């Protein structure tokens, strides 16, 4: 009997130890990456052990991880009890990247074009709405950091939290997906990609590989059929492993098998967007890819602060890691409010806002959300007050970019709402619409 107990304990340890090592690796990577981006991209100086985004609420266990900030090398290394150290390093123009070793020097980087002009118009009716957006009325912390409201192309409302300014680039998390959708549109305009294109990656083109049948439009509409678990609460889900337990996000996502025939089932997956980034890399070419987002989108729109961070393999993490000031996020929204004129193919903005038939209740388009989630106030009386042509780029911890073409309105809200239910975006948006002229 004692032998059986010892054997059971040994088997349990053999199962648990590799799992614990991987969990520790993910935790170290998350902390190193979050701090490196905060310090060297956003220009903030958070407490490396107590900053909310790596220590509060759901992140309390992260307090067991220790981080070392090296300002000279512009890197952050985090470890757990001295084990599983992970490093994120900063390079100008490319942000912070998790890396197993020294990164190659970035390609030549020139200063971005100046920002585009955004006229401002004082709107006193919005003051109490902005005051409420930065208030903390309940136990769930909103931690709103920045809000910009554009109406008829002018800034009619703008507010920042202490320590954040109009020049502070902030992560949009999954808002980045909508930007990647626009970048793919530029390749369609140039004739380098088409919506019906298949056989999109070399690793999908082996004999009998059913992934060769995935079309570009299937990826844009999140109906590739690929297996992917989008569960941030699970440190070993596909999304956390892709972002924080490896160094090739697009390659990881592209390696997963099908679980449904392409084009038949909608499933939101960050891996899908990183596959699009990998496809774009092949279409653009290695020499032009590093400068591609700035050349075709950010500079033409006058978004000098914008950058998308790449993984260690050199592919932009289009699912999750774009940083920009709140005003530059608003400039991107304005592109879609104006129908994509000047940067996107004709009809591309309307394509993004058109419902994907396989998505429940018409909730998703082509890399844009058409309805707010229940956690952000979707399905409420306030949501019913939002015009039906509204669409949204939404991200982790309550990042929101809403475009309402019929009301000439673009709204950006950035924050650290670790409990996403703390931010009722539907109510906020409905209140703004009530306060502005039709």
List, for residues 230-287, the tens digit of each pLDDT value: 998 888 899 999 999 999 999 999 999 999 999 999 999 999 999 999 999 999 999 9
List, for residues 299-352, the tens digit of each pLDDT value: 999 999 999 999 999 999 999 999 999 999 999 999 999 999 989 999 999 999
Q: Which of 79-88, 90-99, 156-165, 402-411 has the lowest mean pLDDT?
A: 79-88
Q: What is d(CA 387, CA 374) in angstroms, rounded to the nearest whole number?
A: 17
Mean pLDDT for the stretch of residues 7-22: 51
Q: What is d(CA 183, CA 174) in angstroms, rounded to the nearest whole number?
A: 15
427 three-state secondary structure: helix
Domain boundaries, the chain: 2-99, 127-435
Q: Are 276 and 187 within 8 A, CB to CB?
A: no
Res 111: pLDDT: 81
Per-residue pLDDT band at 17 (split at 50, 70, 90): low
Q: Is 50 exceeded by the pLDDT of residue 5? A: no
Q: What is d(CA 148, CA 122) in angstroms, rounded to the nearest whole number?
A: 13
Q: Which of 106-115, 140-149, 195-204, 224-233 has the lowest mean pLDDT?
A: 106-115
Q: Give percent of the chain above pLDDT 90.
A: 87
Q: Is 90 exceeded by the pLDDT of residue 392? A: yes
Res 101: pLDDT: 85
Res 368: pLDDT: 99
Quick one: CA dihedral 322, 327, 329, 331, positive or negative?
negative
Q: Give percent of the chain above pLDDT 70.
A: 96
Could you tell me the CATH superfamily of domain 127-435? DD-peptidase/beta-lactamase superfamily (3.40.710.10)
Q: Is 60 exceeded by the pLDDT of residue 15? A: no
Q: Which helix (H) or strand (E) holds 249?
A: helix 249-254
Average pLDDT value for the chain:
94
Nearest Cα neighbor of 279 from 310, 255, 229, 315 is: 315
Phi, psi at 71, each rounded to 5°: -70, -30
Token pair for 333: 């929204």
List, for residues 154-177, the tens digit of each pLDDT value: 999 999 999 999 999 999 999 999
- Estimate the crossing angle of helix 425-435 against helix 127-134, to 10 degrees: 170
Res 18: pLDDT: 67
List, for residues 51-62, the tens digit of each pLDDT value: 999 999 999 989
Close Cβ partners of 297 (under 8 Å, ≥ 6 residues apart): 179, 182, 183, 186, 303, 343
Q: Is 80 exceeded by the pLDDT of residue 20? A: no
Q: Regarding predicted confidence, which is higher, 112 or 431?
A: 431
Q: Is 90 exceeded by the pLDDT of residue 102? A: no
Nearest Cα neighbor of 356 from 375, 341, 369 is: 369
Nearest Cα neighbor of 229 from 218, 241, 239 is: 239
Q: Is 70 exceeded by the pLDDT of residue 6? A: no
336 three-state secondary structure: helix
Token pair for 65: 């991880």
Mean pLDDT for the stretch of residues 384-402: 98
Per-residue pLDDT band at 104 (split at 50, 70, 90): confident
List, for residues 359-382, the tens digit of each pLDDT value: 999 999 999 999 999 999 999 999
Token pair for 365: 């388009």
Per-residue pLDDT band at 7 (split at 50, 70, 90): very low
Q: Is 50 exceeded by the pLDDT of residue 10? A: no
Question: For residue 323, what are the β-bridge partners?
Answer: 171, 307
pTM: 0.95
Token pair for 302: 């006058």
Question: For residue 409, what are the β-bridge partners?
Answer: 151, 404
Res 3: pLDDT: 39
Q: Is 80 exceeded by the pLDDT of residue 13? A: no
Res 4: pLDDT: 35
């Amino acid at each position: 009997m004692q032998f059986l107990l010892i054997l059971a304990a040994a088997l349990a340890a053999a199962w648990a130890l590799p799992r614990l090592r991987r969990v520790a690796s993910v935790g170290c990577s998350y902390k190193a990456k979050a701090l490196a981006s905060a310090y060297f991209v956003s220009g903030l100086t958070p407490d490396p052990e107590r900053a909310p985004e790596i220590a509060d609420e759901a992140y309390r266990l992260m307090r067991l991880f220790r981080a070392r900030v090296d300002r000279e090398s512009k890197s952050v290394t985090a470890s757990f009890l001295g084990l599983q150290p992970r490093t994120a390093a900063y390079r100008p123009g490319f942000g912070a990247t998790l890396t197993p070793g020294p990164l190659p020097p970035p390609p030549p980087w020139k200063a971005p074009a100046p920002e585009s002009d955004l006229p401002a118009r004082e709107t006193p009716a919005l003051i109490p709405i902005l005051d409420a957006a930065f208030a903390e009325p309940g136990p769930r912390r909103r931690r709103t950091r920045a809000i910009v409201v554009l109406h008829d192309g002018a800034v009619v409302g703008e507010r920042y939290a202490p320590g954040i300014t109009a020049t502070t680039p902030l992560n949009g998390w999954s808002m980045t997906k909508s930007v990647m959708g626009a970048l793919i549109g530029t390749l369609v305009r140039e004739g380098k990609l088409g919506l019906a294109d298949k056989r999109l990656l070399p690793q999908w083109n082996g004999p009998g590989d059913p992934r060769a049948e995935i079309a570009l439009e299937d990826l844009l509409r999140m109906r590739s059929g690929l297996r992917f678990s989008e569960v941030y609460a699970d440190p070993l889900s596909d999304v956390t492993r892709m972002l924080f337990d490896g160094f090739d996000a697009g390659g990881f996502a592209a390696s997963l098998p099908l679980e449904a025939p392409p084009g038949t089932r909608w499933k939101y997956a960050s891996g899908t967007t990183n596959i699009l980034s990998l496809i774009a890399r092949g279409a653009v070419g290695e020499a032009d890819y590093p400068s591609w987002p700035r050349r075709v989108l950010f500079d033409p729109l006058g978004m000098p602060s914008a950058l998308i961070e790449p993984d260690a393999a050199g592919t932009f993490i289009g699912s999750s890691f774009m940083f920009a000031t709140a005003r530059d996020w608003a400039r991107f929204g304005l592109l879609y409010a104006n129908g994509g004129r000047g940067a996107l193919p004709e009809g591309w903005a309307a394509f993004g806002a058109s419902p994907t038939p396989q998505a429940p209740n018409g909730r998703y388009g082509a890399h844009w959300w058409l309805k707010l989630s229940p956690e952000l106030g979707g399905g409420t009386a306030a949501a019913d007050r939002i015009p039906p042509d509204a669409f949204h780029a939404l991200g982790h911890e309550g990042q929101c970019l809403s475009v309402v073409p019929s009301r000439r309105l673009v709204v950006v809200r950035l924050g650290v709402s670790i409990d996403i239910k703390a931010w009722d975006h539907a109510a906020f948006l409905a209140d703004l619409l009530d306060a502005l002229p039709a």
